[in-house]
Amino acid sequence: MLKVTDLKKAFKNKDGTKVEILKKLNIEIKKGEILGIIGESGCGKTTFLRTVLRLEEADSGSVLYNGVDLMKISKNEIRNKIRRNLRYVYQHPEASLNPGVTVGKSLLNTCKLFHTNELEKKVADSLELVGLPFEYKSSFPHELSGGEKRRAVLARALITEPQMIFADEPFSGLDKILQARLIQSFLRIQKQRELTYILVSHDQSIINNISDRIFRLQNGILQQIKS
């Protein structure tokens, strides 16, 4: 479904020296798979997700998605054809929800970006899918708890009916009861929609048990540690 070949990304330090975050990274992801990525903080897990999705430009390499090389097509094409299928769930839900906009409106805006119809129904379905009551569409982000915010950003990612979800630390900062429920939602949705997940997390006990395959990102290279 997604094939990453020789992906490279380096950043420049303040003093001009180059730091290679991703060196020749290779990975192939199959449909319906849950892929776990672990690694020390600062090893480039987030950079990897962002580069694959072209939220960050890679230095070289290719990312084939259903036969199309994401690195070669224009930003416009990415926006119009790819974004709705490959969705990114940010690490910090507080920072990714607009504080002045209700959850429902936030979902609607996302729908509109992708010109989908039956907007209201989509919002209702999406909220139901992640287990948020429909009334929450009129709530502002600050009125939600940590776990509810995480559900809201997941609902926003799901509203375009994507094929893949790239989630950056989706379970962190929650207490165990909320974590368990969110994991249940993730797995339910995956089953219903045959979704493919790429999950980045530092919580080994969750990653070990939720993932089909696990890779460790270290020194810019992905190494498989569980198959």
Q: Which residues bind another protein (CB under 8 A)?
A: 175-177, 179-181, 183-184, 187-188, 190-191, 202, 204-206, 208-210
Alpha-carbon gap, residue 90 to 83, rounded angstroms: 14
Min dist. Cβ of residue 226 to another protein (A)? 12
Contacts 24+ apart (CB under 8 A), 93-100: 93/141, 93/146, 93/149, 93/150, 93/152, 93/153, 94/141, 94/149, 96/153, 97/141, 97/149, 97/152, 97/153, 98/141, 99/140, 99/141, 99/142, 100/140
Residue whose CB is less far from another protein, 20 or 203: 203
Q: Which two tokens stand for residue 51?
A: 């580069």
Dihedral-angle region of residue 80 (phi above 0 means left; psi in -120 to 50 means alpha; beta otherwise): alpha
Min dist. Cβ of residue 148 to another protein (A)? 12
Min dist. Cβ of residue 191 to another protein (A)? 6
Min dist. Cβ of residue 110 to another protein (A)? 25
Residue whose CB is less far from another protein, 6 or 40: 40
Cα–Cα distances (Å) from 127 to 30, 65, 113, 117, 131, in that order, read: 27, 28, 18, 17, 6
Residue whose CB is less far from another protein, 91 or 116: 91
Min dist. Cβ of residue 213 to another protein (A)? 13
Residue whose CB is less far from another protein, 23 or 213: 213
Residue whose CB is less far from another protein, 74 or 209: 209
